[in-house]
Structure 1
Amino acid sequence: MKRLLVVVLVFALLFSLTASAMAEAKMTVTNKNLITFEGNSKAYFFAKVENTGDSAGYVDYGGKLVGFNANDEIIFAEDYVSSYPSNLKLEPGEYAYISDFILDEVLKSDTVTDYKFSIKTIEYGNDYSKIPCEAKLELSADEYDNYVNVTFTNDSDSILYRFTIIIAIYDQNEELVFVDDDYTSAIGIHPGSTITIKANMDSDLIKYYAQNEITLSTVEALIYIED
């Protein structure tokens, strides 16, 4: 009887270890967009990354973005593309937004016809909590006067100094067309106080949307505070 009990316990332990070993995080790019401007040396890259695995993990800081021309030649490469905040912890089903600003003279003379982006999971990183917020688009006919207003309340018992705001906008086809971030540490928000952050949108992007018949339809904001 004792021998049978030992065998059962051993198998239970092995099953537990196997299940633990199989559980892992997986960062999957679920939406992405590279926006370039004709005759301009700058470009914007936006992405949404979701943990589609069955365990928590951290977003790698070393995401790889590569752009190709019509001859399948690499014309630019970015080696450190990540979420903001960086090395963000994602539980299964959670997601993060990524943005990268590219400035390269080759973009003036060559055209990006394809691009690839990949990002991995790492075991260690930074833990943050999210607080509720509301985001609204404030658009105008003036390409220099377009904003996203993010409003939130400090519902904690202490003054909030350090917080990160992430803004994401989708078009009429649910394609990701804008991601921006802001970090504030110099302003203290007292308990119970409500604040609105006004984020300006690049006029070149506004012109790009108009030229390509892109309608800004849905806006989301995420606010992270350090644990």
Structure 2
Amino acid sequence: MKRILIVVLVCTLLFSLATSAIAEAKMTVTKKNLIAIEGENTAYFYAKVENTGDSAGYIEYGGKLVGFNASDEIILQEDYVGSSPSNIKLAPGEYAYVSEYIIEDVLRTDTVTDCKFSIKTEEYGSDYSKIPCEAKLELSEDEYENYVYVTFTNDTDSILYNFAITVVVYDQNGELVFVDGDYTSSIGIHPGSTITIKAGIDSDLVRHYTKNEITPTTVEALVYIED
């Protein structure tokens, strides 16, 4: 009887240890910024999300954004904020960016002084491989002529379709001030070919930078090929 009891206890302990050791993905927001355009009913929300867990996982397409005013009242709520590209799979230590364009009348009459953003994992999503690229930020005095150029080469033996591009700009303080993404499945990049994509920075953002002494400084780009 004692032997049976010991075996049961050992099995229970082993099961408990195995359960606690199950690897899981965990999406952590490491940077976020909400830019409300003065006098308008529009805002831009940007975030950087990293998988800080010990297993790969997919970013959900249901991130929750809540904005508060100076009285700590909720004046803004978005329930479907996703990554660029959406539902992307991240290995431990990998990251992706989030971009959301917001239109709310309350932004004309009140000010978002703080915001909270959370995003979880999903069981299913999209698998991408990243390929090397170069990004260049080109600014001008004309608020309508500010661009990020992304250049990359197809170094495989096949025509590449279904690719996504994310462009990111940080300011002099390391804050996210621009994130944009694009996806195409109708263009094929032939083996050995080099392509450059031009992404424009919205003029209202450029005016916001100037008014608030924000200097776009660092640029990053990520190019994804759908597996």
- TM-score normalized by the length of structure 1: 0.91
Pairwise CA distance, 1:20? 4.1
> Which residue does the alignment assign to 1:117?
117
Pairwise CA distance, 1:56? 1.0
1:48-127 maps to which residues of 2 (within 5 A)?
48-127=48-127
> Which residue does the alignment assign to 2:196?
196
Partners of 1:87 and 1:188 lie apart in 2 by 23
Question: Could you tell me which amino acid in structure 2 is paired with residue 103 of structure 1?
Answer: I
Q: For each residue in 1:114-136, what CA deviation from the matched residue of structure 2 results, as whole angstroms up to 9, or x when unmatched?
A: 21111112222211111110000
Q: For each residue in 1:165-193, what CA deviation from the matched residue of structure 2 results, as whole angstroms up to 9, or x when unmatched?
A: 00111111111111000112222211100
Q: Does 1:148 align with 2:148?
A: yes
- TM-score normalized by the length of structure 2: 0.91
Equivalent pairs counted in the alignment come to 220
Question: Could you tell me which amino acid in structure 1 is paired with residue 210 of structure 2?
Answer: A
1:175-214 maps to which residues of 2 (within 5 A)?
175-214=175-214
Q: Does 1:29 align with 2:46?
A: no
> Which residue does the alignment assign to 2:217?
217
Pairwise CA distance, 1:30? 0.5
Question: Could you tell me which amino acid in structure 1 is paired with residue 74 of structure 2?
Answer: I
Q: Which range is displaced more, 112-121 or 45-54?
A: 112-121
Which runs of 4 or more aligned residues in structure 1 lie more than 3 Å from their structure 2 counterparts after TM superposition?
Answer: 9-16
**Aligned sequence identity (%):** 72
Q: For each residue in 1:47-76, what CA deviation from the matched residue of structure 2 results, as whole angstroms up to 9, or x when unmatched?
A: 000011111111111100011222222222
Question: Could you tell me which amino acid in structure 1 is paired with residue 19 of structure 2?
Answer: T
Q: Which runs of 5 or more residues in structure 2 are unaligned?
A: none
CA, structure 1 residues 10+102, in 2 after alignment: closer, same or farther (shift >3 Å)?
A: same
> Which residue does the alignment assign to 1:39?
39
Question: Could you tell me which amino acid in structure 1 is paired with residue 142 of structure 2?
Answer: D
Q: Which range is displaced more, 143-152 or 59-68?
A: 59-68
Partners of 1:11 and 1:72 lie apart in 2 by 48
Q: Which runs of 5 or more residues in structure 1 are unaligned?
A: none
Q: For each residue in 1:129-149, what CA deviation from the matched residue of structure 2 results, as whole angstroms up to 9, or x when unmatched?
A: 111100000111111100000
> What secondary structure, in the 3-state scheme, does the structure 2 residue paired with 1:18 have?
helix
Partners of 1:192 and 1:60 lie apart in 2 by 35
> What secondary structure, in the 3-state scheme, does the structure 2 residue paired with 1:45 have?
strand
> What secondary structure, in the 3-state scheme, does the structure 2 residue paired with 1:148 have?
strand
> What secondary structure, in the 3-state scheme, does the structure 1 residue paired with 2:24 have?
coil
Pairwise CA distance, 1:151? 0.1
> Which residue does the alignment assign to 2:18?
17
Partners of 2:174 and 2:189 lie apart in 1 by 34
